[in-house]
Structures are given as C-alpha cells and as structure tokens.
C-alpha cells in the first residue's frame, strides 16, 4: 500500500476529527483548493471513496484497530465509541447550559455583589430613562 505524505496525513487527520475543508485551509494557512487536492490524493492512494472511509482508515491506523474483528468485539468497540461521543456531547451541552444560565447584567445602575462593576454614564435605571424621554 502506498504511504501518504506528511501533509496528506495531516489533512486526513484533521478531516477525521471533523474539520471542514475551509477550517483545515485556515488552520494550515493553505487554499481550500490545495486542501481539496490533498484529500483527493489521499483517497486515491488509499483506494477510498468517501470521507467516512478516510476517517475510519485514520482511526484504525492511529489506534491500531484491526478491521478483522469478530462480531462481538465490533459491537463492543462500537458501544465504547458511542459512549465516548455521548459523554463528550453531554459535557459540551452542560458547559453551554452553564454559560446560558449565567445571570445577565441589568441596566438598573446598581452593582451586583459579585461583579464589583461600578456605575458609569451608560447605566440607567427606569426613572432616569423616563426623564430622558420627557426631556
């Protein structure tokens, strides 16, 4: 089997981790056309057709996973990978919810005990806003 160049392997690795071709191009500071060509060459060398096949090839190489696994071992590996994916999504969602639950600052002009922010000319309370509407 033909081996990949270091740049082709790097592009395959980034593809396997889910980056788009635009993101890979930005990361490597190359044009999108160059990234597309590197992916095509890698697929041709490895005799693969799809990006998912490229991803499977990368992870089998990276983690020395044999494709000749027994049925039960394939199920076990699939369950383990699925568990990792669900766990990482759960952690990501938890972090996002924590950010969303962070109390927002009001425009009341008061400083909350936690922020320690002092009042400035952009802070208005309802009374001051009403005075501005009248004037």
Give me the pLDDT at residue 80, please.
86
Flag whether 94 is in a domain. Answer: yes
Q: Span 56-85, mean pLDDT?
A: 82
CB 76 within 8 A of CB 33: no
Q: Tens digits of per-residue pLDDT, 102-123?
A: 665 555 555 445 555 565 555 5
Flag whether 29 is in a domain. Answer: yes
Flag whether 117 is in a domain. Answer: no
**pTM, whole model, 2 decimals?**
0.51
Q: Tens digits of per-residue pLDDT, 32-69?
A: 999 999 999 999 999 999 998 899 899 888 888 776 76
Flag whether 88 is in a domain. Answer: yes
Q: Span 119-130, mean pLDDT?
A: 54
**What's the CA gap between 51 and 57, in Å, rounded?**
10
Flag whether 80 is in a domain. Answer: yes
Q: What is the CATH number of the domain that holds 21?
A: 1.10.10.10
Domain extent for 47: 6-101
DSSP state of 107: S
Our count of domains for the chain comes to 1
């Amino acid at each position: 089997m033909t081996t990949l160049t270091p740049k082709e392997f790097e592009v395959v690795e980034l593809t396997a981790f889910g980056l788009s071709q635009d993101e890979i191009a930005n990361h490597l500071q190359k044009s999108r056309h160059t990234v597309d060509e590197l992916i095509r060459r890698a697929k041709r060398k490895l005799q693969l057709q799809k990006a998912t096949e490229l991803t499977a090839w990368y992870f089998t190489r990276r983690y020395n996973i044999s494709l000749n696994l027994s049925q039960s071992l394939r199920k076990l590996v699939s369950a383990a990978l699925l568990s990792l994916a669900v766990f990482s999504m759960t952690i990501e969602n938890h972090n996002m919810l924590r950010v969303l639950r962070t109390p927002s600052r009001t425009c009341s002009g008061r400083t909350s005990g936690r922020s320690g922010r002092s009042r400035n000319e952009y802070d208005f309370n309802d009374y001051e806003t009403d005075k501005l509407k009248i004037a």
